[in-house]
Chain A
Amino acid sequence: MIEVSAFQKFGDFTLDASFAAEGRFIALFGHSGSGKTTLLNVVAGLLRPERGRVVIDGATLFDADRRIFLPPYQRQLGAVFQEGRLFPHLSVRQNLLYGAWFARLSGKDAKLARVADLLGIEPLLSRYPNRLSGGEKQRVAIGRAILASPKILLMDEPLASLDDPRKQEIMPYLERLRDEARIPIIYVSHSVAEVARLSDTLVILAGGKVRAAGPTIELMQRLDLLPVVDGGETGAVIDAVVMSHDDAYGLTALASRAGQWKVPRLDAAPGKRVRMQIKARDVMIALRQPDGMSALNVIPAVVAEIGPLDAPSVEIKLDCGGEALVARLTRYSVERLSLRTGTPVFAIVKSVSFDRSALGVAWLKSTDGGCRDRSTIAKAPRSSSKRK
């Protein structure tokens, strides 16, 4: 359980945010200036707000009313920053062991070897930070934070300074970390793709306030949050299972409650859970089952909700056998097809629109054990109809 609340005025910006989450991978999401990094600094102890509280799994790190404020070095954190912040005068090995030394770890070398293996940084151990690429630096920074054996891992846009290939290089490591390290992670990001792929709990910040907080899958389908979230990148998140691979055509078949999906070949064994984000702008709607069409994913659905009709483009939430999809159409199309709540339709998604950043290994792993089951959040009831 993680509880954070903070109130602090900075000139004309006021941070007045609080959230409580059971999740283990909490994404603080918002545009620049929304206060997400400031809130993370409150958790880290780098900022002491006028009022507020920070409680991590029962340990009170900050409580303004009780005048408790632990400085960062007593909070047992691991922090990863946007710019890496590796110590330039220390080798990669020394950087990695820096926090471990203060944590007075026993068996440092074994832990170092394991983390270096997890992050794929063994070949870099004797190098110095100036001889590392951006992606390598971030992996070392992540390793350094884990090796401090923290009670919580804080990540402040660890991928923001990297180009797309580097992001794809690190993403799988973050997924492994999420599934293998048994510590909660608070992850600050303004990227919908990262948040959709990694987090189980989403806290959306805007103007220093929490706009919404809850399970990622639920929030990603809420039409009222779309304007807050982003322009072109939003879309529903679906957890699915790998069914089979078609190597001849380089495709993978996935099954979810909505039906079968064909996506570009995934590197995951059949039976493995994967998470995919389907961008609203990639979803088309047809009234009849189309034939003679190139798109491979045709999913029967019912219109569940139609967003505000005051803009040229309109978001439509579809119910596909209990799973939600969000489609973005022009208002003209909505009127031409005379879509209403309850209209039966077919949702069409081209397989090629699943780029690598939209597909990731999901939370729930059926193949390897040892990982805590986090199904409570992923399987949370679709409460959207009740809410509206």
Chain B
Amino acid sequence: MTLSPDEWTAIRLSLLVATVAMIASLPFGLAIAMALARRDFWGKALVNGILHLPLVMPPVVTGYLLLLTFGRKGPIGAFLDEHFGIVFSFRWTGAALACAVMGFPLMVRAIRLSAEAVDTKLEAAAGTLGASPFWVFLTVTLPLIVPGIIAGMILSFARSMGEFGATITFVSNIPGETQTLPSAIYTLTQVPGGDAGALRLTAISIVISMAALLLSEFLARRAGRGLHVAT
């Protein structure tokens, strides 16, 4: 099975977009998950609702909203372009942003669940031993939620690999710039004689998804063993 250069480009781009989306959303995901798991604040239900919107809205709607806010003429997009030279629209960075937004609820949910499972009494014990809240988080909470963080990252990555609707709405389908695997497959199915290419990319897509799943299983098991939690 040989792949055309265009197909390779789509695969590389997809991996890049998914990886960047996963890593860039991690700090935000961790912060919001911890806030939702541990703190009570005004408007918590609202934050939680907005966070889950990308899961329940049609991806096209999410993409269109991104276009309105992060597009060149959108309020945030214009600001970022003017002050930092960061442009999202019709760039691979925009694809990464769309993927990050779509995967965000999954990541937050996984981290939040594992944070809620951590016994806060352990954190209190660390406090009585002289650890400030910052050190308690770093030395007790964080190591104990590593499995949740790994699960959240893998979910975000897998969601990004499959993301289509929001991406194509927000940054279109430009080969070499925004054409990720799903977009490439979609394009190939729209042209005569593209079936073989679509099938090849489909196979690749399945392989990557499976690999991500297996990797997450492996890492979670290793982290679990590292925790020496009694089973």
The distance from the CB of A150 to the nearest CB of chain B, in whole angstroms, is 9
Which of B62-70, B171-179, B223-231 contacts the other chain? B223-231
Q: Does A7 contact B (CB under 8 A)?
A: no
CA distance A77 to B143 in the complex (A): 24
Residues of chain A within 8 A (CB-CB) of B131 are: 73, 98, 102
Q: A15 to B124, alpha carbons, bound, how many Å? A: 21
B132: chain A residues within 8 A (beta carbon): 71, 73
Are B140 and A72 in contact, CB atoms less than 8 angstroms apart? no
Q: Is the CB of B129 within 8 A of A78?
A: yes
- Asked if B4 is at the interface (CB within 8 A of a chain A CB), the reply is no
Nearest chain A residue, comparing its CB with the CB of B146: A89
Docked-complex contact A102 and B130, CB < 8 angstroms? yes
Measured CA separation A44–B143 after assembly (Å): 25
Q: Is the CB of B128 within 8 A of A89?
A: no
Report whether B227 and A79 are in contact in the complex, using a CB–CB cutoff of 8 Å: no
Which residue from B122, B130, B228, B229 sits with its C-beta under 8 Å from A85? Answer: B122
**Inter-chain contact B121/A88, CB cutoff 8 Å:** no
Find out whether the CB atom of A87 lies under 8 angstroms from the CB atom of B124.
Answer: no
Q: Which of B117-151 contact A (CB under 8 A)?
A: 119, 121-122, 124-133, 135, 139-140, 143-144
Distance, CA A85 to CA B123, complexed state (A): 9
Report yes or no: B143 in contact with A89, Cβ–Cβ below 8 A.
yes
B228 partner residues in chain A, CB cutoff 8 A: 88-89, 128-131
Interchain CB contact (< 8 A) of B130 among A46, A87, A103: A103
Q: Is A99 close to B, CB under 8 A?
A: yes
Which residue of A46, A87, A131 is within 8 Å of B128 (Cβ)? A46
* Structural contact, B121 and A73, CB atoms closer than 8 A: no
Are A71 and B128 in touch, CB under 8 angstroms? no
Near B by CB (< 8 A), chain A positions 136-180 give 144-145, 148, 154
Complex alpha-carbon distance, A145 and B133, angstroms? 18
Q: A102 touching B143 by the CB < 8 A rule? A: no
**How far does the Cβ of A352 sit from chain B's closest Cβ, in whole Å?**
40
From B129, B139, B144, B230, give the contact of A148 (CB < 8 A): B129
Task: Give CA–CA (A46, B229) in the complex, Å.
Answer: 26
Interface centre among B119, B131, B143, by most A CB within 10 Å? B131
- Distance between A4 CB and nearest chain B CB, rounded to angstroms: 16
Q: Which residues of B contact A260 (CB under 8 A)?
A: none
Q: Could you mark each residue 63-88 of chain A with 1 if its beta carbon is under 8 Å from any beta carbon of chain B, else 0?
A: 00000000111011111010101011
- Known A85-B121, A89-B144; contact A44-B230, beta-carbon cutoff 8 A: no
- Complex CA distance for A145 and B119, rounded to whole angstroms: 19
Given the complex of chains A and B, what is the CA–CA distance between A131 and B229 in angstroms?
10
Q: Is the CB–CB distance between A72 and B121 below 8 Å?
A: no
B122 touches A72 (CB 8 A): no
Q: How far is the CB of B223 from chain A (nearest CB, A)?
A: 10
The answer on a CB contact under 8 Å between B127 and A81 is no
B121 in contact with A81 (CB, 8 Å): yes
CB contacts (< 8 Å) of B133 on chain A: these are: 73
Bitwise, A31-50 to B at CB < 8 A (1) or not (0) is 00000000000001110000
The docked-state distance in angstroms from the alpha carbon of A102 to that of B121 is 19
**What's the Cα separation between A145 and B144 when bound, in Å?**
21
Tell me the smallest distance from the CB of A94 to a CB of chain B, in Å.
10
Q: Which residues of A contact B124 (CB under 8 A)?
A: 46, 72, 85
User: CB within 8 Å of B: which residues of A?
Assistant: 44-46, 71-73, 75-79, 81, 83, 85, 87-89, 98-99, 102-103, 128-131, 144-145, 148, 154
| 9 nearest A-B residue pairs (beta carbon) | A102-B130, A99-B129, A128-B228, A130-B230, A79-B128, A85-B125, A72-B127, A89-B143, A72-B128
Q: Which residues of B contact A (CB under 8 A)?
A: 119, 121-122, 124-133, 135, 139-140, 143-144, 226-230
Q: Beyond A73-B127, A102-B129, A129-B228, list 11 extra A-B contacts (CB 8 Å).
A: A45-B127, A46-B127, A71-B127, A72-B124, A73-B128, A79-B129, A81-B125, A83-B121, A89-B226, A102-B135, A148-B129
